Structure 1
Amino acid sequence: MTTLDDENTGNLGPLLDDLESAAPRLSRFILASKVPAKRRQVVIKSTVERTTALLYQRGAIPDELARLVDLVTVRNYLDQASLSALIRNLYPATKVDNDAIFKVVGALGHGQLKPALPLQSLLLRWLVMVYHLLENPGILTQAYGTSAVPSPSADNTTLALSRQTGNDPPLTGLLRVFKNYYPEIIVGKATKGRASAFKHPDLQWRERLDEIQHQHHETRDNGGSRNGFSVNHALSQKMGAKPSLLPAVYTQHAHEDSVTLEEIDGPDTFVENLDKIELPTQLVAVLADPLLQKLLLLRPDSESFSRISNWVTACMGDVASGDGDLSLLLDIVDVVHDYTASTKVLPPLLLSFFSFLFSVWNGSDKRDVVLETLSFAPLMDFDKLYKSIFEPFEASVLDNAAESQTSLLKFYTLLLQRWTTIMQAAEDLDTLPGGAVTQLVTHVNKLTLTLSQTSPTTATYLTILDFYECSAAILAKPNLLQHVEITTPPALLVYIMHFSPSLIVVSRLCGLLAIYKRAFEALRAPLPTSQSRGLTQHENEQINTLNSFLMDICNCLWRGRAFATSDVNSQGCLIPQSLVPVLVRYLGRIDSKLSLGSVFGVSHSPVLSLRTISYIRELEDGEQEVIRDRHAGPVTQHSLGQLAHRGGLQISWQEYRSGLLRYLETKGFTGIPELMYNTMKNLMKARHQ
């Protein structure tokens, strides 16, 4: 009899002994399953319950599975409820061998020794659910012709039943399968009309099976971490919070000269046999198996990716026909996300999946996962990509809220980063559509300008700058600049961020404009090692716009001429000139000594005044001689002269401003000094002296 210790250690053997043999007083050769219930000296119900519980917990290894299959496939005296419970919990922990399959198939049909028809139904259902674990799936094809069920008769019966029921969709679907085997029987319009797709009999059962398979293989591997050079036999990668429904890697048609992925156990054997490795039977396993991913990356094959695409297309067909729901598509997104995160590639063949997803997606479920996965979209013509993928994506995500706009902007930033990496890694940039980058920036310009007004916060401005800094990073690389046209941010956006209350925003904006200025200058003259492509017509049109940015910002920060329009290219920060007198009068009421032109300079600016007085305090604290008077601030050329006469810090106006730029650099605000050094001629010379 079984003991508590047997069950705690997961030992199925004694329980199977109890099922097969009678009470200890009887001969062990007399099977309980062959002894009528009234003659048994033990109650078998509790044994069945403990057996099914243990099967549900850890499954059956091959020897145990063989004994259980023997038990449920031959008519015996165990009651039908007990046998049904055993079949429903017949979870194999490993592959299912040919003997077990032959016994189950042989148990189907009519005959005195066959199991009852309800049990046969459960056995057939079990075959469907463990098909992906068969050691040799082709064994079912071999058994089809030898089955006790006459195949042509079954086809004719199904055909007649279909005609009687008026082309019932499930029967039509079954006839389409039969047609592959007996086309001479299934002819005419029998398979026309709507057909019902075949669903998995029990998804919860399959999920538990996957968990058991994974636990078994993890135990076999002693819990060791994978190095990426062995097959992931139990795909427990995530599909939502559930185990994966993807098939594991299995190679069915291997030959003597080939090597299967299942035989690879390390990087050495993988490299040595790279050309000999046979592709597995179900290539869709690549979406979750790192070793198969490596193989297809090193040996790309268009047919292989077509097969993967067909699997995804079939899943989309299930949803379109009503046999699946959005959760199935989101589960696939999880799998595709893991694949793209590992390979850094989203195959173009899978783009159709996202096009379909966005037609039914609510724009919020797993948004971050969808966003990151789609950011691996290939570098291709932006207009085509936008029409087929990004436009429906935007329609799903955008909901007139700033949060959705920010999510969309972060997506495009990530996409631009991926494309930059692709361009940097390319051996021949001429083969890449560099114009797609320009089109992307032009498209995002509208989004950033809208976002700056719907959510005028520092966080928003920083997110916007993230995108444009990615764009500027391309322009800062001479080889990439020769293949990407410069596109500046919208003028209104630049001025909005220039008057941001955040110093880091202003600093990053100035640094960004300095990169644009250098990029335009680089295109005006031949490069040292190759001929510059020169400026395009569009770029020539943008030069005046960029010069306006530079002049207006320098007028505000450095020249004491805020909102001036008399200088060449100056636009007065796009402030209406009718507003200037109003601002002057307002400022006069606050402090008659202040001028509108200087209040946005480095000393008076709301974002810089604290830094400037802190700089002066550091200079005063570092003086060797006694300081009799400290500067009260804000600093002006006149106040510095008066301070020196009163025994305070002695520093010229020019020294103060040059030192302030160096001080800002030490504090991490490098953008403003970078712009001034690249724009103001006197500072250009001073920096190189």
Structure 2
Amino acid sequence: MDIITTIQDLIAESERPKKSRVQDVTQLVNTICDHANQFGLGNEALRSIIDLVREPRTLDQTNTTTLIKSLYPAQRIPSSHVSLVAAALGPAEKKPSTATQNLLLWWLALVRTAFEEWNVLERLYSILFNLLDMLTIRSNLCRLLCLITRRKHIKPWRIHRLHELSQSASNDQGLIALLKVYQNFYPDVIVPQGKSMELFKGLDKEWIARLNTIQEQNDISAGPASAFENVYGGNKRRRTEVIPRVQTRQIHENTVVLEELRTLEDFGNKYERIEYPNQIIAALDNQQLQRLVVLRDDPILNSRLNGWLTMFFDVHMQKESEEDQSDRTLDEVLDQLQIFTKHTKIVPIAFTGFLSRYVGYWDGQRHRSSILGILGYLEIKPYQEYRTQFLEGLEQAILDGTEAASVTILSLYTILIRSWTTNLLAATSRAIESGPDGTETITALISHCSALVIQLLTSGPSAIAQTGIHEHLQTIADVSLLALGSPRLKIDIPPSHHTYLIIFTSPTIYTLSSSSQLLSTYKDILEQHLSGQRKTKPALSSRSSITEFNGYMMDFCNLFWRSRAFNTADNNAKGCLLSRNITKALQQYAESIPVDRRYSLGALLSLSFHPALSAVSIQVFRNMEDKVMADNSDEEDVITKRHAGPVTQHSLAHLLSQGGLEVSWLNYRREVLDVLGAMGADGLSGLVQRSVKIS
């Protein structure tokens, strides 16, 4: 049944006396609520229900309560709907019951981020404030006023009126909360002693979470009000007990406080007049203040932020030295500091100072994600300085002999290399001249990572470790590619043992393809470097790097394309760095394998024999045979003998003499490369095409 039809039926039934009703009202209400809880209500349905609950009818209070608590809007709420709800408030005889009015106020407070116009309630402020005389709805009304009050609403007569009301109703938590909001804007406002109300209760948070889910399902993003919710953003997340909220006192007449800003446009227009809040540390939990920290770049701001963090970390370190693990506030602060660092790209100096002491106590597990997330945004400093300060201790705490720990450290360093490269390219010439040598810092970190990569490769890396290794090597390749256009960076050729270990310890199609793609990238870099067509020429680590790289290329082609594995006779070929004695022993072993025919060592890692490629290669050849037979189905004995595999140049000639498929050795290999490319593993094909002539 259409939800609009159901609502119309409910309205019709509510106008009839109970004994004259045709349908069960409770069942209709439950149907509407089930739909609203699952999908939300469109504006037409929402308007109909608002009209239903705000006008005197025979609908009982239980069903009215159930309806209002299920008013989840699926769209932005028009201002006309909000005005209708506000018009339903008050002491008039034809107004809804006070229970219904309280529910409507509760609903307005929770859906205010879904309004089409974020300031619609602010325009109704006078109407709402004048209803404070109604004791029966004062609590929910005060909560709503707390959420929408801005400095422009605070008038002397309103302060006077609130004091009068608070005197007549001592210890009214709603009035105390509202007066505290007024005091946030004007510190001279006197607030009576007493406990203020909690703005959001557990049920409210659950309701808001469901509202957010429904809005997301309907592709309705958070509105301007929610994006700039400051002081009372209880619908965003559970706030920490340690980090204070944004509060600004000592306000000057011509300044603006963050609590007043509701949109990004407001922030931009009033940026120059924004007053700093009482505690800058609130920036850990407030995006506007984070923007202010970044845009102002004020040493005083940074000093206040670091001062608070230093005191907090000092207290925590005292507890660590006393082996007190009961304090959970560090987890909360580090979690928020990670978010702050992610948004601002600023790592407070207080954190690095804390970490240099903390690594001596750290078990390498608690809040690891937060600590590593923060470290990914470190500014460029001499690598040895960071290593002495905390990186060495960090490695000792995390590295426990497992592969996962090594991948974690390698991933951190990969992120740092990428971040430092970006920062170095974006820095001004003056900053580079006055700062540390960023090029040497990046090179030193790359060199340190080499040992981690070797450790992972020699331990038989898993798929996760392979991914981490390739991301690291790809990052170094990206840095070298950027070095072509910037004298601030240096081309780094991967060490030979990295390349060969990847080939022999990670024998999968996609690992080989990725490694080949990396080598192709480096070949392009070197060709551009040596072409002499650039104005700036970054120096290589040494001239021998070029010769060394050509050796990688030749060895790869000898392995996969030319069936000359471990050959050293060709120019630049290094035989995969194997000594002659080892090569000779491997050849003897290959010849001793008990098979029908003898194979040379040089062919055992070619396309036809390689463990990762042999299955694809023989299937390619069989597909070629099938195609020829299908194309010549009307002829007999087109192919009288099929290849049993593996395919070699000699076996193709022998097969042809016995009635097999006629195909050249070159065309067969080229077809294998094409199929690998179609599978998404085109790195090997690209490397071969860049290294040898295949047509």
TM-score by length of 1: 0.66
Deviation of the 1:671 alpha carbon = 1.6
Cα distance in 1 for residues equivalent to 2:314 and 2:175:
29
How do residues 527-676 of structure 1 correspond to structure 2 at under 5 angstroms? 527-528=533-534, 530-533=535-538, 535-536=539-540, 538-590=541-593, 591=595, 592-623=597-628, 624-626=631-633, 627-628=638-639, 629-676=641-688
Q: How many residues of Structure 1 are paired with residues of Structure 2 in the alignment?
A: 523
Deviation of the 1:68 alpha carbon = 8.5
Gaps of 5+ in 1: 13-53, 74-85, 99-132, 148-204
- Residues 503 and 439 of structure 1: CA distance in aligned 2, closer, same or farther (over 3 Å): same
1:232 equivalent in structure 2: 230
Cα distance in 2 for residues equivalent to 1:447 and 1:7:
70
How do residues 148-297 of structure 1 correspond to structure 2 at under 5 angstroms? 225=222, 227=224, 230-234=228-232, 243-297=240-294
2:154 equivalent in structure 1: none
**Aligned AA (2:685):** P
Deviation of the 1:512 alpha carbon = 1.2
Identity of aligned residues (%): 26
Q: Which one of the candidate residues 294, 310, 317 is aligned to 1:313? A: 310
8 A contact 2:557–2:688 mirrored in 1: yes
Cα distance in 2 for residues equivalent to 1:441 and 1:638:
45
Q: Which one of the candidate residues 504, 509, 518 is aligned to 2:515? A: 509
Cα distance in 2 for residues equivalent to 1:437 and 1:11:
62
Cα distance in 2 for residues equivalent to 1:472 and 1:331:
37
Deviation of the 1:441 alpha carbon = 1.0
Deviation of the 1:306 alpha carbon = 1.3
Asked if residue 471 in structure 1 is aligned to residue 476 in structure 2, the reply is yes
Cα distance in 2 for residues equivalent to 1:217 and 1:503:
49
- Residues 506 and 330 of structure 1: CA distance in aligned 2, closer, same or farther (over 3 Å): same
Deviation of the 1:11 alpha carbon = 7.7
Deviates more, 1:336-345 or 1:301-310: 336-345
Cα distance in 1 for residues equivalent to 2:678 and 2:352:
47
**Cα distance per residue 1:408-437 (max 9 Å; x no partner):** 112222223333443565566983823322
Deviation of the 1:546 alpha carbon = 2.3
RMSD: 4.2
Deviation of the 1:469 alpha carbon = 0.7
Deviation of the 1:95 alpha carbon = 6.2
Deviation of the 1:490 alpha carbon = 3.4
Gaps of 5+ in 2: 1-60, 66-96, 104-138, 147-158, 213-220
How do residues 444-483 of structure 1 correspond to structure 2 at under 5 angstroms? 444-477=449-482, 479=484, 482-483=487-488
8 A contact 1:252–1:280 mirrored in 2: yes
Cα distance in 1 for residues equivalent to 2:336 and 2:421:
25
Deviation of the 1:667 alpha carbon = 1.4
Deviation of the 1:610 alpha carbon = 1.3
8 A contact 2:529–2:537 mirrored in 1: yes
Deviation of the 1:96 alpha carbon = 2.2
1:518 equivalent in structure 2: 524
Cα distance in 2 for residues equivalent to 1:598 and 1:430:
55
Deviation of the 1:244 alpha carbon = 4.9
Asked if residue 361 in structure 1 is aligned to residue 388 in structure 2, the reply is no
**Aligned AA (2:303):** S
- Residues 527 and 8 of structure 1: CA distance in aligned 2, closer, same or farther (over 3 Å): farther
Cα distance in 1 for residues equivalent to 2:164 and 2:240:
26
Deviation of the 1:489 alpha carbon = 3.2
Cα distance in 2 for residues equivalent to 1:314 and 1:596:
67
Cα distance in 1 for residues equivalent to 2:446 and 2:279:
40
Cα distance in 1 for residues equivalent to 2:329 and 2:467:
36
**Aligned AA (2:440):** G
**Cα distance per residue 1:547-604 (max 9 Å; x no partner):** 3322322221122221223444433223343233332232223234201111111111
8 A contact 2:410–2:449 mirrored in 1: yes
- Residues 134 and 261 of structure 1: CA distance in aligned 2, closer, same or farther (over 3 Å): closer
Deviation of the 1:399 alpha carbon = 1.9
8 A contact 2:482–2:489 mirrored in 1: no
Deviation of the 1:258 alpha carbon = 1.7
TM-score by length of 2: 0.65
Cα distance in 2 for residues equivalent to 1:606 and 1:440:
34
- Residues 458 and 348 of structure 1: CA distance in aligned 2, closer, same or farther (over 3 Å): same
**Cα distance per residue 1:482-519 (max 9 Å; x no partner):** 43223333333322211122121122112112222322
Deviation of the 1:656 alpha carbon = 2.1
**Aligned AA (1:299):** R
**Cα distance per residue 1:501-546 (max 9 Å; x no partner):** 2121122112112222322332223234x2323x34x332433432
**Cα distance per residue 1:118-150 (max 9 Å; x no partner):** xxxxxxxxxxxxxxx96666889x99xxx9xxx
**Aligned AA (2:507):** P
**Cα distance per residue 1:325-383 (max 9 Å; x no partner):** 56332221101111123334434554324334433321101222322222122233322
Deviation of the 1:472 alpha carbon = 0.8
